[in-house]
Amino acid sequence: MTEETKEETKEEGTVEVPKKFAKLVSEIEEMSVLDLSELVKILEEKFGVSAAAPAAAAAPGAGEGGAEEPEAKSSYNIEVTDAGAQKIAVIKAVREITEIGLKDAKDLVDKAPAVVKENVPAEEAEEMKKKLEEAGASVELK
């Protein structure tokens, strides 16, 4: 790799990467979002852990206003739960929303329920949900 042992520069800023992980990090950077999602699921199953555990642990500690949480949420994950009868239209809508290739969009729709896009602002999430539902998909905002 490089002579530098701890720094790798990215467009978003500087991230310190130990030399022993530099090769692994560079390989992960080259992966598609769908491949990375699949890798995370495999690692979760293999090691019996969940990448979402910190977020899930924070939710119960939020207080007594459990009913207010969905309204206060500022970003959502858009999940297609079922492609419905108009699968081609749903694939087109997924491509439009995510700007991914046809094969990746088809694979994502085929393995429903699947997250189409993560951490989307509430207003945009509602618009995307509407587009997917108009195409015939069943959609949940999580």
Q: What is the pLDDT of residues 8-65, one digit of tens each?
A: 444 445 678 888 888 888 888 888 878 888 888 888 788 777 765 444 444 454 444 4
Which residue segment(s) compose the domain that 101 sits in?
Answer: 74-141
Distance of CA 102 to the CA centre of its chain: 18
Query: Domain check: are 79 and 137 in the same one?
Result: yes
Our count of domains for the chain comes to 2
Residues 6+ apart with CB under 8 A from 112: 80, 81, 82, 83, 137
Residue 15 lies in a domain: no
Strands 114-121, 13-16: pairing is: unpaired
Question: Does residue 85 share a domain with residue 118?
Answer: yes
Classify residue 12: in a domain, yes or no: no
* In contact, 80 and 142? CB cutoff 8 Å: no
Residue 33 lies in a domain: yes
Find the radius of gyration of the CA atoms of the chain: 18
Residue 57: exposure state from Cβ atoms within 10 A (0-12, 13-18, ≥19): exposed
Element (DSSP H or E) covering residue 87? helix 87-98
| Sequence-separated (6 or more) residues with CB below 8 Å from residue 25 | 8, 17
CA angle 38, 40, 121 (to 5 degrees): 90
Q: How many CB atoms lie within 10 A of CB 68?
A: 11
Which CATH number does the domain housing residue 89 bear? 3.30.1390.10
Task: Identify whether 86 is part of a domain.
Answer: yes
Is 68 a member of any domain?
Answer: no
Contact between 79 and 142 under an 8 Å Cβ cutoff? The reply is: yes
pLDDT tens-place string over residues 70-108: 455 778 888 888 888 888 888 888 888 888 888 888 888
> What predicted TM-score, i.e. pTM, was given to this entire model?
0.48
